[in-house]
Amino acid sequence: MEGEKTANPTRTRLRGAAAVKTHLTLAAGLLVCAAAFWFEVGRALGGNTLSWAYVFEWPLLGGFAVYMWWKVLHPDAEGRPPKKPRAELAPEYSGMLAAWEQHQSELAAQRQREDGISQ
């Protein structure tokens, strides 16, 4: 079809030292989540009923860390398909658009004249 883009847009990805720091941060965060999970399991099995909430919370926090790690590594990756381009301006509004553009250019010219006088 004519006018349709055939090339895929290039996607950026975090690379180099910044990516290594991101991977290390994720690894450290997952280690903390795993340690806290085991700690809370021990407390929950020991009779602390409140710890059962934390037993489920730490894995969820680890999952969120993985999600954020992915978003940081792929900043332009979108979960949704791109929006369709807007339709052309309706013919009945083209005169209004032209008048607005003319008014904007007149305002810009007036500002330039005033700036020239005040200096």
As a residue count, the chain comes to 119
Instruction: Pull the structure tokens for residue 79.
Output: 């979960």
Instruction: Pull the structure tokens for residue 18.
Output: 């910044």
Between CA 88 and CA 79 the distance in angstroms is 27
Does residue 35 surpass a pLDDT of 80?
yes
pLDDT one-digit tens code per residue, 8-28: 455 677 788 888 999 999 999
Model confidence at 95, pLDDT cuts 50, 70, 90, reads confident
Does residue 105 surpass a pLDDT of 90?
yes
pLDDT one-digit tens code per residue, 68-93: 998 888 887 776 666 666 667 777 88
The CA angle 65-71-76, to the nearest 5 degrees, is 175
Between CA 76 and CA 114 the distance in angstroms is 43
pTM above 0.95, yes or no: no
Does residue 43 surpass a pLDDT of 60?
yes
pLDDT one-digit tens code per residue, 61-70: 999 999 999 8
Model confidence at 46, pLDDT cuts 50, 70, 90, reads very high
**Shortest CA distance to 21 belongs to which of 72, 61, 62?**
72
